[in-house]
Chains A and B, each alone.
Chain A
Amino acid sequence: MSGIVSVYTFWTLWLFVHLILALVLLGAITHQAMAVALPVRKPATGIVTRFRAVSAAGYTTTVCVLYVLTFFVGSYIYTQYRTAIRIPLEEAHFYKTVGFFDFKEHVATLGLVLLPAYWCFWKNAQEPEYDNARKGVTLVLAAMVWFLFIVGHVVNNTRGFGS
Chain B
Amino acid sequence: MSTTATASKTTPPASPLARSGKFKAFATTFSISGPVIYCVIQYFNYPLFTYWPAVNRFAWGFGAGSADTGPNMLWYGWSVTTVLIAAALGIVAMILPEGLTKKIPLWLVWVLPILAIPYVVYSLALWWRLAARQ
Contacts and interface: CB of A to CB of B under 8 A. Distances in A.
Interface of A: 35-36, 39-41, 55-58, 75, 78-80, 82-83, 86-87, 93, 95-96, 98-99, 102-103, 105-107, 109-126, 128-137, 139-140, 144
A140 to B, nearest CB: 5
Given A109-B38, A129-B106, A131-B3, 6 more contacts: A36-B3, A102-B127, A110-B116, A117-B31, A126-B7, A137-B31
A95 B131 contact: yes
A145 to B, nearest CB: 12
A99 B128 CA distance: 7
A121 to B, nearest CB: 8
Interface of B: 1-8, 10-15, 17-19, 23-24, 26-28, 30-32, 34-35, 38, 42, 51, 53-54, 70-71, 73, 75-76, 78-79, 82-83, 86, 90, 106-107, 109-111, 113-114, 116-117, 120-121, 123-124, 126-128, 130-131, 134
Contacts of B28: 117, 120
Contacts of A128: 4
B131 A87 contact: no
A113 B30 contact: yes
Given A98-B127, A114-B31, A39 B6 contact: yes
A124 B1 CA distance: 15
A122 B109 CA distance: 13
Chain A interface mostly helix, strand, loop or mixed? helix
18 contacts: A36-B7, A39-B6, A56-B10, A57-B12, A75-B76, A78-B73, A79-B73, A93-B134, A103-B120, A109-B38, A109-B79, A112-B34, A113-B86, A114-B31, A114-B34, A119-B27, A124-B18, A137-B110
Contacts of B23: 120
B10 A109 contact: no
B71 A83 contact: yes
Contacts of B24: 120, 124
Given A57-B7, A123-B18, A117 B38 contact: no
Contacts of B130: 93, 95
A35 B38 contact: no
